[in-house]
Chain A
């Protein structure tokens, strides 16, 4: 079974600074997908970024980027130029590559951006 671990329950960052959220996972699959979802206080789950395991290049979406280390099974999220609107719960998630399969989520990291 796949597991996703987020070791930082809470983090804070000053506005405009950079923060990195950690995620590790365990799987015997060779090909899979990894995601970061954001859940602001409004409770909606919003896709932030995704990474395909067979791609060596790290995914980037504007201020959000990942550091994907397949051998180490690590998938961290870097948020640059943090904004107050980035305050949210961030979930790392995994899905195996065999069709549209269930997401396995980590416990989340609560990020607070401080003015």
Chain B
């Protein structure tokens, strides 16, 4: 069964540094998402992406965050200047088609640790 893949599985970065989290969505999916989960808390929506532009974003997704689909397969989340509070599990998800009958499929996540 097709899967969403995320790399790296664990990223350790110094505060203030830039980090790029990578995702390869399921190949025929059209919609892409980033969520984050701070340790012990619920999963929170960051941003959705469709047709090479942001569809929706949450209040969390401020100017330090950006997303990009640099080629036909990768979907990246960049955090420009990391803060301690950015430490979290970051999940990429994708869904297909134009109907919300299509469930979102999640990757295994990237654990981001900011020192």
Contact = CB atoms under 8 A, between A and B. Distances in A.
Contact of B31 (A52, A100, A107, A108): A100
Nearest to B102: A100
Given A42-B108, A43-B89, A44-B109, A105 B42 contact: yes
Contacts, number: 69
Contacts of A46: 106
Interface residues of A, number: 27
6 contacts: A44-B107, A100-B30, A100-B97, A102-B33, A103-B33, A104-B45
Interface of B: 30-31, 33, 35, 41-45, 48, 50, 55-56, 58, 89, 91, 93, 95, 97-109, 111
Interface of A: 33, 35, 37, 42-47, 50, 52, 91, 93, 95-108
